[in-house]
Chains A and B, each alone.
Chain A
Amino acid sequence: MSAVHEAEPVGGPIVTRGFRAVSLVLAIGVVFMIYRFMAGLGASTGLSDGYPWGIWIAFDVVTGTALACGGYAVAILVYILNKGQYHPLVRPAILTSALGYSLAGLAITIDVGRGWLLYRVPLYANHWNGNLWSFWYF
């Protein structure tokens, strides 16, 4: 009895109705992303000094990472408490998490004013910082 099931292709078409719908959302997002780099964060997000983070961060970072975290939670359950018996659950769970965290990480580079400086975070960070630890967990 092996608890690890082999990876195999799922098959089926890639461009489905769902794929098209999500691509449309993505395309709208790209338009606003470009607008943000032309007009600034205030004009593109409606954020202000009164609401410096707003629903923008609440959705893409807080909600996004929390959803993505579910996959890792499943992986922990399977590997640690379940001793790998439900291993077929692990691959889709990890894939979801990896995509979720990567996209949230990408979104942050647009959220912050100067995303291209974020490479410095692991190098010169202020080590006792909460924001930094949220970074580590990506």
Chain B
Amino acid sequence: MSIDRRSLIKCGAAGAGVAIAASTLPALAARPRKEAPADAVGMLYDTTLCIGCKTCVVACREANGKPPDTSNSPGRLYDMPLDLNGTTKNVIKLYKDPDGAERSYMKAQCMHCIDPACVGACMLGALQKRELGIVTYKQEFCSGCRYCQMACPFNIPKFEWSSRAPLMDKCEMCVHRVVKGQQPGCTEVCPRKAIVFGKRADLLAEAKRRIAGSPKKYKGYRKGDAPRVYGETEGGGTQVLYVSHVPFEKLGLPDLGDKPVPEVAQTVQHGIYQGFVAPVALYAVLGAVIMRNKKAEGQKGKAS
């Protein structure tokens, strides 16, 4: 039994058809750039104002019912989170230049991206962008796969590594307080107003006003860059904004460019699986070839 030329050509044509369909689909499904909702809220952190008192860390715990993290404190006396973790949604870190006097505090919490990579990565839709543009986490939908940790460009979602039935943990901008008209825990208590809460559009204007007021004081991504507001367009824009007197790269804020982080991956993914056409077509072609082979086989069996 051999493959005759006709069937080979047929096979090839069908395969090529599927391949062309699969490769052109991504182009058809151009992904529109997402904009912040009109009522988007946000926070603005100004490193020049922060004195590192960590009141916001405590307030965050109280607002979210999270226990103190004493694991790094000698004698387990004090709340001393070294970074965000399974019980810490908000943390103040210190950056010290090894060879200079440059130093700055850095507040880390969810950036509430306008086009979040974690939401695209979340398999069961536990992470969702909801009211006011806040990226929320519904724990009852979470299977603990940690894909959000892989996806987040800011390393924000954290996992409960020592729990038997672990969940993720991340800042939700105190959405439970905000919907009641209150402020998030951290912004409410900040004695220097280094972190403030408000509408994203207002905060962006305020950040730009501060930079315009003292352009020498504020910095960009790297040394020598023009001062800018981090989060205005970074990774498609974030709802938490930063202005800083040390370059952003020193504070662990990556230069993401202005493209949304999940753009490429989602364009490909949505394209290939557009309406589930390509996989079904591929399997249909394979199935048809097998059926045809079997039929030819049956006829041959009868003839011999």
Closest to B167 in A: A113
- What's the tally of chain B residues with a CB closer than 8 Å to chain A? 47
Q: Which of B1-35 contact A (CB under 8 A)?
A: 1, 3, 11
Task: Specify which of A3, A43, A49, A76 is in contact with B149 (CB 8 Å cutoff).
Answer: A49
**A1-B304, A41-B166, A52-B150 known; A47+B161 contact, CB < 8 A:** yes
Provide the residues of chain A in CB contact with B301, threshold 8 Å: 1-2
Q: Which of A30-85 contact B (CB under 8 A)?
A: 37-43, 47-49, 52-53, 76, 79-81, 83-85
Provide the residues of chain B in CB contact with A43, threshold 8 Å: 161-162
Task: Specify which of B3, B85, B143, B160 is in contact with A118 (CB 8 Å cutoff).
Answer: B143
On whether the beta carbons of B297 and A84 are closer than 8 Å, the reply is yes
Task: Specify which of A39, A115, A124, A128 is in contact with B141 (CB 8 Å cutoff).
Answer: A124
Q: A135 CA to B145 CA in the complex, in Å?
A: 12
Q: Does B216 contact A (CB under 8 A)?
A: no
Q: Does B198 contact A (CB under 8 A)?
A: no
Give the interface size class of chain A: 35 or more
Task: Specify which of B11, B143, B273 is in contact with A113 (CB 8 Å cutoff).
Answer: B143
Q: A41 CA to B144 CA in the complex, in Å?
A: 11
Q: Does B137 contact A (CB under 8 A)?
A: no
Q: A118 CA to B143 CA in the complex, in Å?
A: 7
Q: Which of B84, B146, B161, B286 has the most CB of A within 10 A?
A: B161
On whether the beta carbons of B120 and A114 are closer than 8 Å, the reply is no
Provide the residues of chain B in CB contact with A131, threshold 8 Å: 121, 123, 145, 147
Provide the residues of chain B in CB contact with A129, threshold 8 Å: 120-123, 147, 269
- Contacts between the two chains (Cβ within 8 Å), count: 125
**A85-B1, A113-B167 known; A52+B146 contact, CB < 8 A:** yes
B278 to chain A, nearest CB (A): 12
On whether the beta carbons of B273 and A52 are closer than 8 Å, the reply is no
- Give the interface segment out of B103-111, B222-230, B251-259, B288-296: B288-296
Provide the residues of chain A in CB contact with B121, threshold 8 Å: 129-131
Q: A3 CA to B1 CA in the complex, in Å?
A: 10
On whether the beta carbons of A40 and B123 are closer than 8 Å, the reply is no
Q: Does A133 contact B (CB under 8 A)?
A: yes
Q: Does A126 contact B (CB under 8 A)?
A: yes
On whether the beta carbons of A115 and B85 are closer than 8 Å, the reply is no
A59 to chain B, nearest CB (A): 16
